[in-house]
């Protein structure tokens, strides 16, 4: 991932639309989603409000921000909803962006294998989506059952074959941590990759949240583990295997072939501007970060009344908070944090003093004007990221904060 690639991503705007509907809630899921029967659910009400919120938020942007970089439809299970509703959503974007700009953006649609058909994939491609993301999660039938997933391994194979037939850019999501022996995950994953050759892989460590069925019933699954307790060689071995298949490990959980890194996700890691639209969706515009309410009735009522929903979280970041977020996000990537973005906000002496605090830390390296995590810190990065935040706090207790100048894009 060349430096100029990430720098070119910083301008403009990205859009995330949250589709909270699913067929069945997975045991590990703590997202705002709920099961529905798609045969009678009134989708039009929610999609009308998505368009309303989108119109309102885009109207507030400056002219310089109105350049569409990426669009992501996530959930939930977006593929549970009839395709015609997404056609209406994309048509609504034409009120704000030229058609050729929408067509050139990275437009990702998230789907689950049980609701994927060759017909709906072709329909999605025809209305403007150019990237598909399949939530496969595991290739072990017993693990899928423990996860509460609806699809089978065979269905995952079929959905991937369909996706590769229709789309030139396919991502497959996997979760590791459910299998008793994490090494058992690697062999079927490698065979799957060699068979289908997806352009991108997202491989996430299992996160156990207390309010989920998994969190409440963890005693029933003593073999379920987390990234922190994995054998120390699993993730480096995974990286080596995927590198041999032509993938680059460009972000902690992301592996892509050259030319197929996720533009949308990179905007998160670069702390760029994006709008989150829909129930519980979050956004970041300049120094403002927000999260929409996760309450269904409140979302419907407040969006109808004022164009945007009630926020469950709203914060105007100061200089220190924005710096910490930029560091925290950027250190998730193999390229690290572009120090050029900080130079415009600080005097050279202050920036030099700040970076000197990282020199004695074995988890960090400064090279080619970028601050990166090194070695296994890139795989097991939680503690390294926490230390980076501690370094920020320690530095700013000893001197004034940077001025009000913005971090440079």
What pLDDT, on a 0 to 100 scale, did the predictor assign at position 3? 35
Question: Is the CB of residue 135 less than 8 Å from the CB of residue 171?
Answer: no
Residue pLDDT, tens place only, 27-81:
888 889 999 998 889 899 999 999 999 999 999 998 778 899 999 999 999 999 9
Helix (H, G, I), strand (E, B) or coil at 397: coil
CATH 3.20.20.70 domain range(s) in the chain: 3-269
Stretches in the chain below the pLDDT threshold 50: 1-8, 404
Q: How far is Cα 196 from Cα 161, in angstroms, rounded to an integer? A: 7
What pLDDT, on a 0 to 100 scale, did the predictor assign at position 40? 83
What pLDDT, on a 0 to 100 scale, did the predictor assign at position 105? 97
What pLDDT, on a 0 to 100 scale, did the predictor assign at position 78? 97
Q: Could you tell me the pTM of the whole model?
A: 0.91
Residue pLDDT, tens place only, 243-295:
999 999 999 999 999 999 999 999 999 999 999 999 999 999 999 999 999 99
What pLDDT, on a 0 to 100 scale, did the predictor assign at position 132? 98
Return the beta strands (E) in 235-353 as ranges.
248-251, 254-256, 274-277, 282-285, 288-292, 311-316, 337-338
What pLDDT, on a 0 to 100 scale, did the predictor assign at position 404? 47
Look up residue 361 and give its two tokens: 């830390």
Return the CATH fold of 3-269.
TIM Barrel (3.20.20)
Rounded to 10 deg, the angle between the 84-93 and 43-59 helix axes is 10
Q: 288-292 and 34-35 as β-strands: parallel, antiparallel, unpaired? A: unpaired
What pLDDT, on a 0 to 100 scale, did the predictor assign at position 25? 92
Cα dihedral sign, 118-120-121-125: positive
Q: How far is Cα 299 from Cα 311, in angstroms, rounded to an integer? A: 9
Rounded to 10 deg, the angle between the 43-59 and 296-306 helix axes is 50
Q: What is the DSSP string of 77-106?
A: -GGGS-THHHHHHHHHHTTTS-HHHHHHSE
Look up residue 228 and give its two tokens: 């922190």
């Amino acid at each position: 991932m060349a430096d100029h690639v990430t720098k070119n991503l910083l301008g403009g705007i990205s859009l995330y639309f949250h589709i909270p509907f699913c067929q069945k809630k997975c045991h590990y899921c703590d997202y705002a989603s709920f099961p529905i029967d798609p045969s009678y659910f009134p989708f039009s009400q929610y999609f009308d409000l998505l368009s309303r919120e989108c119109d309102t938020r885009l109207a507030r942007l400056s002219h310089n921000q109105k350049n569409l970089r990426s669009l992501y439809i996530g959930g939930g299970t977006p593929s549970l909803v009839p395709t015609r509703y997404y056609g209406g959503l994309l048509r609504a974007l034409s009120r704000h962006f030229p058609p050729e700009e929408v067509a050139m953006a990275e437009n990702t649609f998230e789907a689950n294998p049980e609701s994927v058909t060759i017909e709906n994939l072709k329909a999605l491609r025809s209305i403007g989506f150019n990237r598909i993301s399949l939530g496969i999660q595991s290739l072990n039938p017993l693990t899928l059952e423990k996860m509460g997933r609806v699809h089978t391994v065979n269905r995952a194979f079929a959905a991937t074959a369909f996706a590769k037939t229709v789309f030139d850019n396919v991502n497959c999501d996997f979760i590791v941590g459910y299998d008793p022996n994490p090494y058992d995950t690697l062999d079927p994953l490698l065979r799957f990759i060699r068979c289908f050759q997806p352009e991108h892989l997202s491989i996430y460590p299992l996160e156990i949240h207390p309010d989920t069925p998994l969190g409440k019933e963890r005693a029933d699954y003593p073999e379920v583990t987390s990234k922190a307790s994995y054998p120390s060689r699993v993730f480096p071995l995974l990286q080596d295997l995927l590198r041999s298949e032509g993938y680059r490990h460009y972000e902690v959980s992301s592996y892509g072939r050259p030319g197929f890194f996720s533009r949308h996700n990179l905007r998160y890691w670069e702390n760029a501007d994006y709008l989150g639209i829909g129930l519980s969706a979050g956004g970041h515009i300049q120094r403002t970060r927000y999260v929409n309410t996760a309450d269904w009735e409140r979302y419907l009522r407040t969006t109808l009344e004022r164009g945007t929903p009630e926020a469950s979280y709203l914060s105007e970041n100061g200089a220190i908070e924005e710096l910490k977020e930029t560091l925290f996000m950027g250190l998730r990537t193999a390229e690290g944090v572009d120090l050029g973005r900080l130079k415009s906000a600080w005097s050279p002496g202050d920036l030099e003093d700040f970076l000197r605090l990282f020199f004695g830390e074995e988890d960090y390296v400064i090279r080619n004007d970028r601050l990166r995590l090194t070695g296994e810190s890139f795989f097991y990065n939680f503690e390294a990221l926490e230390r980076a935040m501690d370094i920020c706090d320690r530095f700013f207790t000893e001197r004034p904060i940077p001025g009000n100048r913005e971090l440079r894009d």
